[in-house]
Amino acid sequence: MRIAVTGATGFIGGAVANAAEARGWEVVRYARRQGKGLSYWDLAGLPPARIPHVDAVVHAGAHVADWGDTAVFHRANVEGTRAVAEAFAGTRLVYISSSSVYPWWEPCVDRAEDEVAARHLNAYGRSKALADVEARRHGNAVALRPHAVYGPGDRTLLPRLVGNIRGGRLLSIGHAGVKHQLTHVDNLTRAILAACQSTVRGAVNVGDARPVELGAVLRQVLDVSGHSDVPVTYLPEPAAMALAAVSEAASRVTGRVPKITRYAVSQVGKQRTYCLDRLRGELGIEPISTTVADAGKWLEHGA
């Protein structure tokens, strides 16, 4: 099996490329920088002049941030996805989408693979929704929609969590019992490799085996990362949303990145659980349960 992977130096793209090679597959690694074993492709620019023949392409490259220039997100995520789909027009396309394509204003409770929402809180969510649609226009594509990907190599979710400790306590949103269906990177990687060899089309939710309560996960991450003495304080979601709106308004004046965004509040403060019937029944993946037992090692190594 020979595959191409965009965003191959990123968290998800790197995990996919490594897992594929561990299976004995050949991998063409595309990245936005030059380097040994890498093929250059800036998704916001022109595609490579020569496109290799591969059995599947995994499109994991994206511009990811809570805040930023709308045009930058559109070029990299929407136009970049279109470019990948056109460059590999006759090839199996596995697009790494996001749960952020679903409505932000309501809880996701065992949500099936509904069509993407029409309204979004930030440029990232909007661009991922448009890119999801763009990818599914390809003749042989599947869009995988994970929520809150974590695991070895995570440079965002858990590091940001521990980095939010202020004044000897961790501030979170909502309440300890709000349920989330996180996605261990191993579950996502297995789903991606299965999708490369599958004919499944459309959208497929990806997540850990069962939902977990936010408070329990936060407590375990703090305990295993050397912060067992740090308590968690929860800010009610309506108050957090109002605070985020003020923070965003100030950022539009100052040009600085807001300390809290409405997008982040919406992703954490409401239940986010998903139906995994297509993942299990059509891709044949039985996901592992949520585990952060080794999170201390990931954080210690700066992953």
pLDDT confidence of residue 303? 43
Which residue ranges form the domains of the chain, and what is each CATH number?
2-300 (3.40.50.720)
**Within a 10 A sphere around the Cβ of 38, how many other Cβ atoms?**
15
pTM exceeds cut of 0.85: yes
The single residue listed with the structure tokens 């929860």 is 234
pLDDT confidence of residue 249? 95
pLDDT confidence of residue 161? 76
Q: What is the pLDDT of residues 284-298, one digit of tens each?
A: 999 999 998 877 776
Question: H helices within the chain, ranges in order?
Answer: 11-22, 70-73, 80-87, 123-136, 157-163, 185-196, 214-224, 237-254, 262-269, 277-281, 295-300
Q: What is the 3-state secondary structure (H, E, C) of 14-32?
A: HHHHHHHHHCCCEEEEEEC
pLDDT at 275 over 90: yes
Q: What is the pLDDT of residues 133-153, one digit of tens each?
A: 999 999 899 999 999 999 988
